[in-house]
Structure 1
Amino acid sequence: MVRPGSAKERFLKFIEVPIDANAGYKNDHWTNRDLIPMPAERRTYAIWSYFIYWCISGLCISAYTTGSTLLSYGLTPQQAIGALVVGALCTGFLSISCGWMGERHHIGFTVASRFTWGMRGAYFPIIIRSFTTIFWDGLQAYWGGQATAVVIGAIIPGFAHMKHTLAGGILLLKDFIAMIIYYIFFIAIMRIPPERLQKPFIVSSIMFGGTLLGLLIWAVSNVHGPGPLFKEPGEPANGSIGWAMMFGITAILGSWGGGTLGQSDWTRYANRPYAPTLSQLVAAPLTIIVCAVIGIIVTSCAQQIIGELVWEPFQLLSALQEFYNDSPRARCGVFFAGLGCVCAQLGISIVLNSVSAGMDLAGIMPRYMNIRRGAYLLAFLGLASNPWQYLSNAATFLTVLSGFGIFLAPFTGVMLADYLAVRRCVIKLEDCYVGNSTSIYWYWHGLHWRALVAWAIGVFPTMPGMIMTVRNPAAYNGWVRTFHMTFFVGLFVSFAAFWLICTISKPPGLGIGTNYHDESMFQPAEGSISDKVSTIEKDEGTDVTVSGV
């Protein structure tokens, strides 16, 4: 117990997150400025804003290197492009579905988890997603550091050829120095509120778009074609083109699965209904396909020119500077192209990691954590995770990290089934901020058992295949094939399971609320736990009369 007026109480009050002047909400266990439905003055994203958003999400190093994953399944570049088209289109449709609650109710994944999982149960998907994001952010920052090293090396050739190592020879000193510099820029950009990031996103898109165009022109003009990879026959995984293409499509969905799950974190900034829809449907698949195809062509041509198969663009730029003997012209090109790679990494880290993870962490401790503080904590934990260590055994680690899709895909299935099929987009928004039994989303002691059961059913089919793959990467049987289709299996099984369970046992509160956010009727302060304290236990199963929004 903290004594009123004590030093500890004053300190806790001092570190509380800022609150708006004349705010209609309070900082408490469920509410802060970044968790309430996005107010109208902060909804600054128009249609063009979401096109730029997808230029960040689609025109990125992860998309550029997607071809390496597809070709590793034994697909030809032509077959890989076919898988790309299907997977990218599915990503667009999935983004629309997952972003609908943000677009209509102006809430993000963190708050949306409450009406699906219960007020206490929502911590489960939030913590799992935050945990995976820490490692992905560490990876992205490490790659961002390598891109930064390329830029510095173009200015100072001696830096580019520095061979000093750290961490038992695993980490190059130049990469560590560049990673710290990268984090300084990252932290500086995170001081910009999400609703004002459009201009930095435009700069990032133009810079990396220029890098892609420059690499493509250089590659095709030197080889006079798409390169030797397009002439090689494919060797599909275990002899089946169909399974290999299915694995490729699933790999694309898995790469953007975490981002689509939290799509409402960004669509809640939409300045009008349907603003994100066209961008998600068109820009999402278009940017992913264009970037990945350019990656395949440039890598193919570069193999013929420099004699190496290099998938990461920043590593290719470093190899080109050495190939051209540090000539001023080559260094100039490498500098600007490397700067585009740095911008791409900064953009993707903010879009897919920092803002979403920051809001997740804000949901765990709203009184003391907001998006900005959560992003700073994420950056620290990403660096503390020592990404260079787990990349030293990249094959096993990336298999395990990708395997987190077996948890994220069922989260997506349960969320979509609840919001779209069971509730028909109707929710009582103020009850998502009430942490006691007066909330219709309190369920059983704050937990929603239906969601947990459906999620477990969605995880089960893919777990054995993941374990087998980790133990023996060459394993191939029915379980492994199911694991390779993690996102499809997990999403559809959990969706069907949740819908069936709710058909048999209807959750409380169905039909109560509205299918859109009405600011004139929503009163977050009255919905705060600090204002609504019940001494009567009314868990699920007790008749409770609750009025609509």
Structure 2
Amino acid sequence: MFSEKTKRRAAYWGKKLECPVDEDANYENTYWCNRDLIPMPEDRRVWTWQGFAGYWIITGANNSAWTAGSTLLALGLSVGQSMGVIVGSALIISIIAITAGHMGSHNYLGFTVMSRASWGMIGGFWPVLNRIVTACIWLGVQITWGGQAIKIVLGAVIGPKYAFMKNTLPLSANIDTCSLVSFFIFLVIFCPLLLIPPEKLQMPLKVAFVLIVCNIFGMLIWSVRTAHGPGTLLHSPAVASGSTLGWNVVYGIQVILGLWSGGIVGQSDWTRYAKTPNASIFGQGVTAPLTIIITALCGLIITSASAQIYGQYFWNPFELLLHIQSVSMTPAARAGTFFSGIAFLASQLALCIVLNCVSTGMDMAALCPRWINIRRGCCILTVIAVAVCPWNFVNNAGKFITVLSGWSVFLSGMTGILIGDYFLVRKTQLHKGDMYRGNRGSAYWYTAGFNWRAIVAWIMGVWPLLPGFVRRVRGTNTQNGWDHVYDMSYFFGFFVSLAVHCLLHTIFPAKKQTGASPFMLELHRTAPIMIGLEANDHADSNDEDKVSKAGKETIVPV
């Protein structure tokens, strides 16, 4: 079908476009492995507790936390009850983050590779694809809000000529000309940041979280001082009562957990860069809940106080700043919105990289490791995020948030399987080399590359939630049994999938279910090399034989 010349040319470019390999590397680019998927080498483990504290300030002090109060008040809760739900949810997020991050900080493996252990070498693509789909939408939304930050900054600098430029787009576009221009300006600033390796992001994140903290408290002081108090919203009573109130509290917890579900299940993507095994715990255990709680509380107070000033509620901080520019372009207003816009710009840049690009870049690398690494995955993700025209989702925020927060229906079961498999089935012991071996010799090949136990466990944790999920999205829920099961969706999916997965592994144990062996690859050019061998790792009895025979036999790439 193809000439020899065409085949040679394709082979040449296929080799030319392969992911870069380190000099004197102890790995090769294969269908299962590249530089970004191997257990993190010691020289790349550079993140300290300050880096993780900054990570969680950026992750916690975002639009989701800021507007969490409005979501809960809409369910009929009072401000006090809403804050109680946020506190409880933040503590649960913290606990899951610490637990899910253990496999990264102690075994230096990310979510992408760990999924192979619990789902099978081929089955592991399923949870990875779920995260990719979610991240494509979320990144697009975050870029859209980043465009709004650009609009605020340039509106303050240039003035009304930019902020209120004539709209030349039709109403059906769901975006105005100024916002679209700002969207692409944000992209121009954002794309070069994708070239920064994850291990070198600590300093940019530190700068971002200083700006974020100063901005939140600056807006809080301004709003309360200008309104001569926090406003009347904080004294609003609960609208719901009785069992309806109780179930709305439970559902509110699921909504908050759902907004962070994608980030916490993939904590090991970042903890594998930890300099010490416990470097991430302060950020996850202290900074994470505090940041979410304080951001939500400040969001409530700023919204309440600004309503006293402008006569309407602005739950979204971007909309508040744009409204300030629309009613006043005094030097003070322009200076205030400029510095606040710069802080939100830094926040959105950091969020896009930290919460979406790096983790999803590694997920995409798992789809085709020979030609895709984290950096290339980030670029592909960005292209898709722009192509979906994310401003359409932002302009239908109500249903959009319901769908994305409800995505925890699928992710909660995956989180339960991941944690249950690592701690209860394998007792934190892993055959690391087998995670890069796509054949029957791998401990994680199971049945044709799929672990049917995980599949059954996930289905059992998901299917009872689907009727309530559909009814909630359609707005037809009537608080029947299916609706109440969905109100407990995260806990139900997590614990049911965890329990079924562990039970099936107990009844039907898999080959090499426990025990540990080091990361080892058989290379074309050298003898097998072992890295990541820790004091508590126990090599297979065959490992020494493999190494001793390596110089005598032909080495086949895994």
CA distance in 1, matches of 2:241, 2:111: 36
Q: 1:174 aligns with which of 170, 178, 185?
A: 178
Q: Which residue of 1 aligns with 2:514?
A: 511
- Letter matched to residue 8 of structure 1: A
Whether 1:356 aligns to 2:356 is: no
CA distance in 1, matches of 2:77, 2:324: 27
Q: Which residue of 2 aligns with 1:253?
A: 257
Q: Which residue of 2 aligns with 1:36?
A: 38
CA distance in 1, matches of 2:137, 2:396: 14
Q: Deviation string for 1:318-372 (max 9, x for gaps)?
A: 111223x210110011001011111111111111100010000000000110111
Q: 1:58 aligns with which of 60, 63, 66?
A: 60
Indicate if the aligned counterparts of 2:66 and 2:299 stay in contact, CA closer than 8 A.
yes
CA distance in 2, matches of 1:160, 1:239: 47
- Letter matched to residue 227 of structure 2: V
Whether 1:343 aligns to 2:346 is: yes
Q: Deviation string for 1:16-37 (max 9, x for gaps)?
A: 1111000000001000000000
Whether 1:138 aligns to 2:140 is: yes
Query: TM-score normalized by structure 2?
Result: 0.91
- Letter matched to residue 108 of structure 1: G
* Aligned CA-pair RMSD: 2.2
Unaligned runs of 5+ in 1: 515-520, 532-544
Shift of 1:64: 1.2
Q: Which residue of 2 aligns with 1:241?
A: 245
Q: Deviation string for 1:411-440 (max 9, x for gaps)?
A: 101111100111110110010000111111
Q: 1:104 aligns with which of 98, 103, 106?
A: 106
- Letter matched to residue 319 of structure 2: Q
Q: Which residue of 1 aligns with 2:208?
A: 204
CA distance in 2, matches of 1:52, 1:290: 15
CA distance in 2, matches of 1:448, 1:237: 45
Q: Which residue of 2 aligns with 1:381?
A: 384
Q: 2:521 aligns with which of 518, 521, 524?
A: 524
| Other structure's SS at 1:523 match | strand
CA distance in 2, matches of 1:297, 1:44: 38
Query: TM-score normalized by structure 1?
Result: 0.92
Indicate if the aligned counterparts of 2:432 and 2:520 stay in contact, CA closer than 8 A.
no
Q: Which moved more, 1:471-480 or 1:384-393?
A: 471-480
Q: Which residue of 1 aligns with 2:504?
A: 501
- Letter matched to residue 484 of structure 1: D
CA distance in 2, matches of 1:305, 1:148: 25
Whether 1:49 aligns to 2:51 is: yes
Q: Which moved more, 1:174-183 or 1:23-32?
A: 174-183
Q: Deviation string for 1:200-246 (max 9, x for gaps)?
A: 10111111212101110011112333211112212137863322222
- Letter matched to residue 380 of structure 1: V
CA distance in 2, matches of 1:506, 1:546: 21
Q: Which residue of 1 aligns with 2:76?
A: 74
Whether 1:454 aligns to 2:452 is: no
| Other structure's SS at 2:519 match | coil
Whether 1:183 aligns to 2:187 is: yes
Q: Which residue of 2 aligns with 1:518?
A: none
Whether 1:423 aligns to 2:426 is: yes
CA distance in 2, matches of 1:313, 1:11: 48
Q: CA 1:336 to 1:243, structure 2 compared with 1: closer, same or farther past 3 Å? A: same
Whether 1:484 aligns to 2:484 is: no
Shift of 1:79: 1.1
Indicate if the aligned counterparts of 2:205 and 2:350 stay in contact, CA closer than 8 A.
yes
Q: Which residue of 2 aligns with 1:222?
A: 226
Unaligned runs of 5+ in 2: 529-539, 545-558
Shift of 1:509: 1.1
Q: CA 1:176 to 1:272, structure 2 compared with 1: closer, same or farther past 3 Å? A: same
| Other structure's SS at 1:240 match | helix
- Letter matched to residue 54 of structure 1: W
Q: Which moved more, 1:463-472 or 1:287-296?
A: 463-472
Q: Which moved more, 1:264-273 or 1:55-64?
A: 55-64
Indicate if the aligned counterparts of 1:411 and 1:455 stay in contact, CA closer than 8 A.
yes
Q: Which residue of 2 aligns with 1:91?
A: 93
Shift of 1:148: 1.3
- Letter matched to residue 491 of structure 1: F
Q: Which residue of 2 aligns with 1:315?
A: 319
CA distance in 2, matches of 1:525, 1:504: 34
Shift of 1:473: 4.5
Q: CA 1:484 to 1:346, structure 2 compared with 1: closer, same or farther past 3 Å? A: farther
Shift of 1:503: 1.7
CA distance in 2, matches of 1:207, 1:59: 11
Count of matched residue pairs:
529
CA distance in 2, matches of 1:370, 1:237: 52
Shift of 1:61: 2.1
Indicate if the aligned counterparts of 1:430 and 1:527 stay in contact, CA closer than 8 A.
no
CA distance in 2, matches of 1:41, 1:49: 16
CA distance in 1, matches of 2:402, 2:62: 21
| Other structure's SS at 1:171 match | coil
